[in-house]
Amino acid sequence: MTIAVPGVPASRKTPGVAFNVILGGAGTSAGDAPISIMLLGNKAAAVSVSSPTYAQAAGTAAVATVVNVASESDAGTMFGLGSELHRMAAAVFAQQPNAALYACPVAEAGTAATVVLTFVTNASAAGTVRFVLCGEVIDVPVASGDTITTIASNCCTYINAMTSLPYYAQNAAGVVTFTAKNTGPRANTLVVDAYFIASGAVVPSRILAAAPVSSGFGTTGQWSSNGTLGNEFTLSAGATQDTFANALSAIEPTRYGRIVGACIDSTNAGRISTSLASQAGPTIQILEQGIVPSVDTYANAVTFAATMNAARMQTAWHFASPMPAWDIAAQVAAARIAGDGAIGGDLVGEGDDPAANLNGVGLASIIVQRTVDDQPTATEIENALNNGLTPLAASTSRPGFVEIVKSITTRASVGNVPNYAVLGTQNVTVPDYTADTLRSALRTAYRGAKLRPDTSDGLPPRIPRVVTPSIVRGFLAQQLAALESRGILINVTANLPLLVVEINGTNPSRLDCEIPAAVIPGLDIITGNVRQL
């Protein structure tokens, strides 16, 4: 048998162990070291406005430069309060307080998205303007006789006090303009929501975009210059896409277990996917996985995932999310590593068990959609899992929040034919963990060893530091059995005939190995009949 190891030519001379991880078509991170997270997104520029006065310092971190993130507070300083990277870091720490977290700012491009809320008519009675923004409830009191300028100015003051929001607000004669803290089209998915609560009212009146809505205390309100996402109103007119190219170059060749992109466009997601595939080659052996978000419609999200169709990429899908898309990807990455123990759950993550079953892992701060109509149906969830999307759905244990339905990769087809050889993300994590474990064990066991063919009598050589293919094969079999005993691999004994170790036909100093790694499956479904007799 001649073993072909793509990416390692027979002419290669550099000593070392070079494994090509093959995942039904392509090959992520493992090892017993903590799994680190790298965040890619925008930092914020300085803000200084006057209606009302609001000032915010620019993030201190340099663009396309890797920094260690020790806390949410540090993230606010380095990236600017409310920026993509600040919120992503907060989402990670909410799920995994002890995360090994890094970030690399992506240079902004283009113009900032905005949306307008217009108040008309002074207040004739007391009431409240309630904003629900990124999961935060902000109640702004209105006094009888307040002018529309006073109402709008107070709204801006209350909103701007929430410095972690991804936008700030300004007033001009009763017209409130929200402006995203980061430029570009991603902010066009940021949801805004507002209500009037009249004195004694039981049900708040939602402010709409189609026509002015009466407050019940004299004032009216209406959204304009907005976008829509499902049943939500969003910012709009953010333009000119940034590029993740320089940031990706900056993070290489250091290994980060999970690369999280704020990007929701196929170009930048593709750049991450290409980088991961390149770094995972056997002569580089930097095994990582990428997570990007989608808050788009089911059809558009499927198209987005299909442009990657990669075993090392994951798309976390949460249509019409009240939370920023980049929060979602960051928290899913942390949940995969840490599970949900930090929020009172009992599911472990890949940091404790590379083969962890992540079905139902709860997310710390990602909330459900405002309306049931925007939540995924059972059919959409099933179809999402067939098309490379990791759907988020209402939690079964924490009302108002979401959980991961099943953690899967974007690789759903080969040559336009459905192929689920690498469906669950554990089908990537476990082979990578296996490769890391074997690489480390081989380097330790055979450091300084010499190689000779197997003897004709089948006995091992009695010469110190001399090994044969059979000796190395036996060592690998022991390592695989140990992984099986830990519930990481399965059917090791049955698959031993597939374990082949041989001396390369061209280079007598090289051993080529074919190593089977059957991933233990997670328990997804239990079926049966309850039959009355």
> Mean pLDDT for each consecutive 10-residue tract of the chain (533 residues)?
78 80 52 87 97 97 98 98 98 98 97 98 98 98 98 98 98 98 98 96 95 97 98 98 98 96 98 97 94 98 97 98 98 98 97 97 98 97 97 97 98 88 94 95 94 88 91 97 97 98 96 97 93 92
**Token pair recorded at residue 97:** 């307080």
Residues 211, 120: Cα–Cα separation, whole Å = 12
pLDDT confidence of residue 32 = 67
Residues 16, 509: Cα–Cα separation, whole Å = 11
115 and 236 Cβ atoms separated by less than 8 Å: yes
For residue 11, tell me if it sits in a domain.
no
201 and 250 in a single domain? The answer is no
Residue range of the domain that includes 230:
112-234
pLDDT confidence of residue 29 = 34
Residues 401, 365: Cα–Cα separation, whole Å = 7
Across the strands, what pairs with 383? none
210 and 228 in a single domain? The answer is yes
Residues 94, 134: Cα–Cα separation, whole Å = 15
For residue 7, tell me if it sits in a domain.
no
pLDDT confidence of residue 448 = 93
Q: Which of 338, 310, 279, 259 is nearest to 39 (CA)?
A: 259
pLDDT confidence of residue 28 = 36
Name 122's Cβ contacts closer than 8 Å, sequence gap at least 6.
145, 146, 147, 148, 218, 219
pLDDT confidence of residue 75 = 98
Residues 266, 413: Cα–Cα separation, whole Å = 17
294 and 400 in a single domain? The answer is yes
Domain-terminating residue out of 426, 456, 475? 426
214 and 277 in a single domain? The answer is no
Query: How big is the chain by its Cα radius of gyration, in Å?
Result: 27
* Count of other CB atoms within 10 angstroms of residue 31: 17
Report the side by side order of strands in the sheet with 205-206: 136-142, 127-133, 194-198, 205-206
pLDDT confidence of residue 16 = 83
185 and 304 in a single domain? The answer is no
**Token pair recorded at residue 242:** 């940034």
pLDDT confidence of residue 13 = 72
Could you write out the DSSP letters of every residue in 220-276? EEEEES-EEETTEEE-B--B-----HHHHHHHTTS--SEEEE---SHHHHHHHHHHH
pLDDT confidence of residue 1 = 66
For residue 343, tell me if it sits in a domain.
yes
Backbone phi, then psi, for 287, in 5-degree steps?
A: -95, 110
254 and 188 in a single domain? The answer is no
The H or E element that residue 47 is part of is: strand 47-50
For residue 253, tell me if it sits in a domain.
yes
For residue 341, tell me if it sits in a domain.
yes
Residues 462, 480: Cα–Cα separation, whole Å = 26
* Count of other CB atoms within 10 angstroms of residue 46: 10
**Token pair recorded at residue 184:** 């570009």
Q: Cα–Cα distances in Å, from 396 out to 352, 401, 402?
A: 23, 9, 8
419 and 270 in a single domain? The answer is yes
100 and 117 in a single domain? The answer is no
406 and 303 in a single domain? The answer is yes
For residue 447, tell me if it sits in a domain.
no
Across the strands, what pairs with 424? 408
For residue 261, tell me if it sits in a domain.
yes
Domain-terminating residue out of 205, 234, 263? 234
Name 136's Cβ contacts closer than 8 Å, sequence gap at least 6.
162, 165
237: phi > 0 → left, psi -120 to 50 → alpha, else beta; which?
Answer: left
The torsion of the CA quartet 445, 448, 450, 454, rounded to 10 degrees, works out to: 0
The H or E element that residue 154 is part of is: helix 148-161
Domain-terminating residue out of 200, 234, 268? 234
268 and 229 in a single domain? The answer is no
For residue 273, tell me if it sits in a domain.
yes
Residues 479, 77: Cα–Cα separation, whole Å = 46
83 and 197 in a single domain? The answer is no
Q: What's the CATH code of the domain at 150?
A: 3.90.1160
pTM of the model: 0.94
Residues 395, 315: Cα–Cα separation, whole Å = 19
Chain-centroid distance of CA 508 in Å reads 44
204 and 184 in a single domain? The answer is yes
Count of the separate structural domains present in the chain: 2
Please tell me whether residue 177 adopts helix, strand or coil conformation: strand
144 and 125 Cβ atoms separated by less than 8 Å: yes
